[in-house]
Amino acid sequence: MSDSVILHPSWLEPLRDEFASPYMQALKTFLVAEKAAGTRIFPKGGAWFRALDLTPLDTVRVVILGQDPYHGEGQAHGLCFSVRPGVRIPPSLVNIYKELHADLGIAPARHGLLDHWARQGVLLLNAVLTVRMGVAASHQGRGWERFTDAVVRLVAARPEPTVFILWGAYAQKKAAFVDDVSRGGRHLVLKAAHPSPLSAHAGFFGSRPFSQANTFLAAHGRGTIDWALPPPD
């Protein structure tokens, strides 16, 4: 699988055993069969590992976990919550922008492209990296979750203090093992409700994750994230 996708070397070496494992080979077989059956898969193959490519392991300062890629035409491009320029901003991202404005006074962007965050060390990782067009959660339970668990563990094992932003019960369960400062660890774990319109008013709004992340990073000599999104190129 790794010979047909973009994957930054900082991730490829420590994940080499994962790519060689039987579960990843079974996942590859499944994806090949999907394509052979004429199933459209999002995102395109070259973007499956784009979150890792844009955010090398040694640059990760913040981790934001999603669940599934968007399953609509032209939406998914390898970063959780992000969509390509020209694509309508999804409701969850609209709410993320609202909280960003309330937290830091940053006006909502007119696009949904989050590459600017990724290039600064914000790992925008979905738990599952592919999906069938129009069928939510269609590639869950096929092996991606085990692979992305390994990714999260690699970040959590690094000595540099990192911020884990966990929105919703799924993300919180996936990263439950992270060494949190509240338990004497070295990483800051920020938990809140998911930004979906179904749950945003149950604790997402008012959670102030962006300012908390920057305060923690600055206090540990890791700089801050520029959360303002410039217009896409």
Q: What is the 3-state secondary structure (H, E, C) of 18-66?
A: HHHCHHHHHHHHHHHHHHHCCCCEECCHHHCCHHHHHCCHHHCCEEEEE
Catalytic residue flag (residue 68): yes
Q: What does the DSSP 8-state code read for residue 163?
A: E
Beta bridge partners of 167: 192
Give the list of residues 6+ apart from residue 173 with CB closer than 8 angstroms, or none: none
Q: In the structure, how many helices (H) and strands (E) does the chain have? A: 9, 6
d(CA 209, CA 215): 10
List CB contacts of 218: < 8 A, sequence separation 6 or more.
224
CB 151 within 8 A of CB 129: no
What sign has the CA pseudo-torsion 154, 157, 163, 166?
Answer: positive
Q: Which of 53, 68, 115, 180 is catalytic?
A: 68
Collapse the DSSP code of 138 into the 3-class scheme (helix H, G, I; strand E, B; otherwise coil) and give the result.
coil
- Contact call for residues 65 and 22 (beta carbons, < 8 A): no
CA distance 37 to 32: 9
- Which residues are catalytically annotated? 68
